[in-house]
């Protein structure tokens, strides 16, 4: 595999699509255990996988490149929706092709990957419109996000000890596949969110072009970064921090 293909394969685990809510923040969502694709769709996706195995290996289990089936695959995508997986496949795979997959081909591949990880087929076709409402979960149901997952939270800036800064009244962390600066749509949605009960210490302000002296207290912000689970208090290693309101207000 040359350097370009290695980079593309890495992107499978680094920067897919749009941020989405976790199971804990959503209601009324189906999961991949509810028979969300058909056997015929998985069969249509199977012939396309020859291009994937060139980078991901014959078994696609993560022994040679990022896993496309099995526990490693499920653990990476869990608490996310099928929309993120579909968007990554549709927009970036396969790296060696002269043109992107069409919608039906990408849906077929998603269906095949679900089949290969043991998720049951159903009687109705998987559709693009349905994907934002279908959560990926393991056999044990919804679980807390793993350490170093890229997440987003909305909350209130607060001064900590010394040069440290916190985000208080924070929402539960949710997956953020795009860890860069938020779009106008994302910022508007963050501004409308009610306050939560979490507190996170903010790390690596410089990564977001910030410093302790440039921060201001009491601002409602949207933060994206790596979730760092810590017995002394969870932290977020910042990738981006954007103000969504000049005041947090009394939201709880």
- The CATH number for 226's domain is 2.40.50
Whether residue 102 is contained in a domain is answered as yes
Quick check: helix, strand or coil at residue 121? coil
Neighbouring residues of 85: CB distance < 8 A, sequence distance ≥ 6: 16, 77, 110, 113, 136
Q: Regarding predicted confidence, which is higher, 200 or 181?
A: 200
Q: Are residues 7 and 131 in the same domain?
A: yes
Confidence class for position 90, pLDDT limits 50, 70, 90:
confident
Among 135, 170, 191, identify where a domain stops.
135
> Does residue 251 lie within any of the structural domains?
no
Residue 197 lies in a domain: yes
The tokens describing 229, both together, are 């689970």
pLDDT band at 19 (very low <50, low <70, confident <90, very high): very low
Q: Residues 166, 221: one domain?
A: yes
Domain of 121? 3-135
Say whether both 106 and 156 belong to one domain: no
- Residue 202 resides in a domain: yes
- Kindly list the distances between the CA atom of residue 120 and the CA atoms of 11, 111, 123, 210, in Å, as whole numbers in the listed order: 27, 10, 10, 47
Based on the domain organization, do 21 and 118 belong to the same domain? yes
- Whether 217 has a pLDDT exceeding 70, the answer reads yes
Q: What ranges in 93-243 are assigned the alpha helix state H?
A: 103-116, 184-192
Q: What band does 2 get if pLDDT is binned at 50, 70 and 90?
A: very low
Residues 6+ apart with CB under 8 A from 71: 138
The answer to whether 166 and 199 have CB atoms below 8 angstroms apart is: yes
Residue 141 lies in a domain: no
What does DSSP say about strands 174-175 and 198-203: parallel, antiparallel, or unpaired?
unpaired
Q: Residue 15 pLDDT > 60, yes or no?
A: no
Q: Which one of 103, 135, 167 terminates a domain?
A: 135
Residues 155 and 236 in one domain: yes
Predicted pLDDT at 4: 35
- Total structural domains within the chain: 2
Say if residue 154 is in the same domain as residue 184. yes
Residue 117 sits in the same domain as residue 20: yes
Cβ-Cβ contacts under 8 Å for 231 (sequence gap 6 or more): none
On whether residue 80 sits in a domain, the answer given is yes
Let me know if residue 250 belongs to a domain. Answer: no
The CATH number for 114's domain is 1.10.760
pTM of the model as a whole: 0.67
113 and 188 together in one domain: no
Domain boundary among 110, 135, 160: 135
The pLDDT of residue 98 is 59
Buried/exposed 104-142: b ≥16 CB within 10 Å, e otherwise: ebbbbbbbbbbbbbebebeeeebebebbbebbbbbeeee
Q: Are residues 131 and 166 in the same domain?
A: no
Say if residue 23 is in the same domain as residue 127. yes
Lowest-pLDDT choice from 33-47, 54-68, 132-146, 206-220: 54-68
Q: Which residue blocks in 117-244 are alpha helix, DSSP H?
A: 184-192
Specify whether 10 is located in the same domain as 113. Answer: yes
**In this predicted model, what pLDDT tens digit does every residue of 26-84 receive, in sequence order?**
445 799 999 999 999 999 998 888 777 666 766 676 666 678 888 888 888 888 889 88
Give the pLDDT of residue 88.
84
The reply to whether 193 falls in a domain is: yes
The answer on 183 and 109 residing in a single domain is: no
């Amino acid at each position: 595999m040359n350097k370009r293909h290695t980079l593309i394969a890495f992107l499978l685990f680094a920067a897919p699509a749009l941020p989405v809510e976790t199971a804990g923040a959503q209601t009324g969502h189906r999961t991949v255990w509810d028979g969300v694709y058909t056997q015929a769709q998985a069969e249509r996706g199977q012939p396309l996988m020859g291009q994937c195995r060139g980078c991901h290996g014959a078994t696609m289990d993560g022994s040679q490149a990022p896993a496309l089936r099995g526990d490693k695959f499920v653990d990476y995508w869990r608490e996310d929706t099928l929309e993120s997986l579909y968007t990554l496949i549709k927009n970036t795979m396969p790296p060696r092709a002269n043109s992107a997959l069409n919608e039906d081909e990408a849906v077929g591949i998603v269906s095949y990957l679900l089949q290969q990880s043991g998720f049951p087929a159903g009687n109705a076709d998987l559709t693009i419109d349905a994907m934002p409402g279908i959560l990926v979960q393991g056999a044990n149901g919804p679980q807390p996000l793993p350490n170093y997952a890229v997440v987003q939270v909305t909350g209130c800036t607060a001064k900590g000890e010394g040069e440290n800064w916190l985000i208080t009244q924070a929402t539960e962390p949710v997956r953020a596949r795009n860890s860069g600066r938020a779009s106008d749509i994302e910022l508007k949605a963050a501004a409308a969110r009610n306050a939560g009960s979490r507190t996170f210490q903010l790390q690596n302000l410089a990564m977001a072009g910030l410093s302790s002296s440039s921060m201001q207290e009491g601002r409602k912000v949207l933060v994206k970064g790596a979730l760092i689970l810590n017995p002394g208090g969870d932290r977020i290693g910042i990738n981006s921090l954007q103000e969504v309101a000049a005041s947090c207000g009394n939201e709880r």
